[in-house]
């Protein structure tokens, strides 16, 4: 999702962009990473590659860690070797989720899942590999027009069922990748050092998000709340992972999540014949 949106936004902005999908570059292969970056000699690297299967990371933690942790360090080190700035995308899952007000960049990290631990490892690998030339961008609940995401799944299920039960006790910031891509391009220009929180404005539960999606789809489907305990998953999720920023002068402000959803729906609308 995010990689395609960043590439499209970079091209639209007149930048010379090189996009390397996994079929062309496995970031877990250190020699391949250094070779590809040495050949491209970019000014900025935006690392959108990640292991995103949260539940799968519980059973395959070492595999998730190799991509989200070790490989992130390879990318940053290869960038530093050619004088490039690294923008690394991280996650709200580095936090435990016990707060009831937005997490700031200086809040203590305490990931509760294997996925969260792997993303935190990536942040630390990047900072170590490129200590003077990196920005770690934590974002939240990403959804986008390219690939699998929550709105696409909910819209499909709403067309098939009379009722959906969706978790109502997990709160976050659903963030449209089209909006985050534009923010990453801005950060590619300003290049602030360290950690920044960049997520959609506002907050909601998964149930509230699903209700908005179903309403927009026009499906005759009822959305009912349930608790996390009623819908167990292999990996624990933060109960509250809303992101705020204490570096507002450096962190781009994104539109409200409802505006992001409207932009997603516009981008995924079937063309009129």
| CATH (domain of 123) | 3.40.50.720
Position 59 in a domain? yes
Position 132 in a domain? yes
| Residue 61 annotated in active site | no
**Buried b or exposed e, range 119-141, using 16+ CB within 10 angstroms:** bbbbbebbbebbeebbbbbbbbb
Domain count, the chain: 1
Closest CA to 71 of 13, 32, 16, 15: 32
Position 185 in a domain? yes
Q: Helix 2-12 to helix 177-190 angle, to the nearest 10 degrees? A: 60
Position 12 in a domain? yes
Question: Of residues 74, 93, 103, 115, which has the active-site annotation?
Answer: 115
Q: What is the pLDDT of residues 250-270, one digit of tens each?
A: 999 999 999 999 999 999 986
For strands 204-205 and 171-172, give the pairing: antiparallel
Q: What is the pTM of this model?
A: 0.96
Position 209 in a domain? no
Confidence of residue 271 (pLDDT cuts 50, 70, 90): low
Position 225 in a domain? no
Residues whose CB is less than 8 angstroms from the CB of residue 144 and which lie 6 or more positions away in sequence, other chains included = 1, 2, 4, 5, 176, 177, 178, 264
Domain hosting 102: range is: 2-148+173-203+241-255
Position 212 in a domain? no
Q: What is the pLDDT of residues 2-50, one digit of tens each?
A: 999 999 999 999 999 999 999 999 999 999 999 999 999 999 999 999 9
As a whole number of angstroms, the distance between CA 21 and CA 139 comes to 21
Position 166 in a domain? no
Closest CA to 231 of 169, 148, 174: 169
Query: Is the pLDDT reported for residue 193 higher than 80?
Result: yes
């Amino acid at each position: 999702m995010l990689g395609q949106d960043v590439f499209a936004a970079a091209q639209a902005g007149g930048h010379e962009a090189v996009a390397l999908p996994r079929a062309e570059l496995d970031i877990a292969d250190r020699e391949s990473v250094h070779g590809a970056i040495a050949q491209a000699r970019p000014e900025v690297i935006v690392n959108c590659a990640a292991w995103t299967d949260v539940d799968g990371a519980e059973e395959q933690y070492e595999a998730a860690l190799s991509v989200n942790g070790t490989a992130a360090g390879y990318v940053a080190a290869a960038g530093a070797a050619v004088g490039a700035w690294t923008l690394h995308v991280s996650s709200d899952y580095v936090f435990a989720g016990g707060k009831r007000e937005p997490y700031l960049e200086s809040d203590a990290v305490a990931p509760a899942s294997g996925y969260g631990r792997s993303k935190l490892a990536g942040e630390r690998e990047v900072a170590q590999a490129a200590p003077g030339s990196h920005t770690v961008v934590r974002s939240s609940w990403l959804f986008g027009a390219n690939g699998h995401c929550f709105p696409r799944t909910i819209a499909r299920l709403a067309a098939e069922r009379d009722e959906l039960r969706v978790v109502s006790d997990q709160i976050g910031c659903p963030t449209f990748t089209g909006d985050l891509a534009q923010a990453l391009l801005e950060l590619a220009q300003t290049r602030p050092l360290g950690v920044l929180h960049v997520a959609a404005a506002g907050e909601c539960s998964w149930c509230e998000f699903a209700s908005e999606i179903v309403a927009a789809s026009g499906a005759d489907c009822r959305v009912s709340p349930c608790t996390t305990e009623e819908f167990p998953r292999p990996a624990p999720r933060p109960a509250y992972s809303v992101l705020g920023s204490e570096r507002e002068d450096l962190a781009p402000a994104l539109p409200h999540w409802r505006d992001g959803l409207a932009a997603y729906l516009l981008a995924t609308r079937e063309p009129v014949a």
